[in-house]
Copies of this chain bind each other. A is one copy, B any other.
Amino acid sequence: MELIKSVAEMAELGRKWRAENKRVGLVPTMGYLHEGHLELAKQAVAENDLTVISIFVNPIQFGANEDLDVYPRDLEGDLAKAESVGVKYAFAPEAADMYPTGFATTMDVAGVTQTLCGASRKGHFQGVCVVLSKLFNLVQPYRAYFGQKDGQQLAVVRKLAQDLNMPVEICGVPIVREADGLAKSSRNVYLDEECRKQALVLSQSLQVAKRLYDEGERDAGLIKAAVQAHIETAPLAQIEYVELVDAVTMQPVLKPEKPAMLALAVRFKTTRLIDNIILG
């Protein structure tokens, strides 16, 4: 496992691999790796000549009142886990190397960034677009891998790559869950025992939606109300949103005809969890 810490060194390696016509897989992460990340890494290792995992808690995608400072970190553990699934390169830059004084570039993808998490986390997806543009330019990957867990992020990066003709294939990978259904997330470590137990309503509520959809229900209001009612059986759950959106545009739909995403964000005490399911 080679650890690259400098942006200049990463750029040089990217250029070298390009000159050697290597097909590079990139797995962009914020570290504190769990099996969801490792699933991305395994797929990247299987499909490319070599795989780079980036480990970078990107400051510009966090809001002022968010958990940047306490976001869990474990670089040594991450390197061991990534190596165990065949990843050969980890890129873990410093924030000051990624965003030196005078950094001035901003990006946005209208529409797809504005709903769901984009509505409550102002600037979040704009920061995601910038860091992914940088990572793509540095690593020059042939494919980049993203979890369906962050369903809106996947939709944003697909649209960004399409609009800007980025020479990279964006690969979405299904959500990995705990045995009891909770979606794997680095933020699950924040949950105390009580919250951890009650957080099960999230994945269960998505199954409620799926059952209704499979039975033919197409009224978004009814589906969302059933999901919401199930979540509310957990006394600690504070719903931020439950929404049914088009799976590509992330815009709310009244009657799903094309594939739709039932997405939710719910707080348990101070921990904000997201989950989603594709319907159709």
Copies of this chain, count: 2
Rounded to whole angstroms, the CA-CA distance of A7 and B164 in the bound complex is: 11
User: Quick check: B104 and A167 within 8 Å, CB to CB?
Assistant: no
Residues of B within 8 A of A134 (CB): 163-165
* CB-nearest residue of chain B to A140: B167
* A80 interface hit (Cβ, 8 Å): no
A106 proximal to B (CB < 8 A): yes
Near B by CB (< 8 A), chain A positions 96-117 give 102-112
Q: Smallest CB–CB gap between A237 and chain B, Å?
A: 33
Q: Which residues of B contact A14 (CB under 8 A)?
A: 167
List, in ascending order, chain B residues with CB within 8 A of A108's CB. Answer: 105-107
Q: How large is the interface on A (under 10, 10 to 19, 20 to 34, 35 or more residues)?
A: 20 to 34
| A68 in the interface (beta carbon within 8 A) | no
Q: Does A133 contact B (CB under 8 A)?
A: yes
* A160 contacts partner chain B, Cβ-Cβ < 8 Å: yes
- Pair A7/B165 contact, Cβ less than 8 Å: yes
A21 proximal to B (CB < 8 A) = yes
Q: Whole-angstrom distance between the alpha carbons of A15 and B137 in the complex? A: 15
- Cross-chain contact of A133 among B103, B138, B159, B164 (Cβ < 8 A): B164
The reply to whether B165 and A137 form a contact with Cβ atoms under 8 Å apart is yes
Closest partner residue, chain B, to A159 (CB atom): B104
The distance in angstroms between the C-alpha atoms of A104 and B21, with both chains bound, is 32
- Residues in B with CB closer than 8 Å to A112 are 104
CB A154 to nearest CB in B, in angstroms, measures 16
How many angstroms between the C-alpha atoms of A21 and B17 in the bound complex? Answer: 10
Q: Which 10 A-B pairs have the closest CB atoms?
A: A105-B163, A104-B110, A137-B165, A138-B165, A107-B107, A134-B165, A104-B109, A106-B108, A105-B109, A137-B166
Contact sample, A vs B, 30 pairs, CB 8 Å cutoff? A7-B165, A11-B167, A14-B167, A15-B167, A18-B18, A18-B21, A19-B21, A21-B21, A102-B111, A103-B163, A104-B109, A104-B110, A104-B111, A104-B112, A104-B159, A104-B163, A105-B109, A105-B110, A105-B159, A105-B163, A105-B164, A106-B107, A106-B110, A107-B108, A130-B164, A134-B163, A134-B164, A137-B165, A137-B166, A138-B165
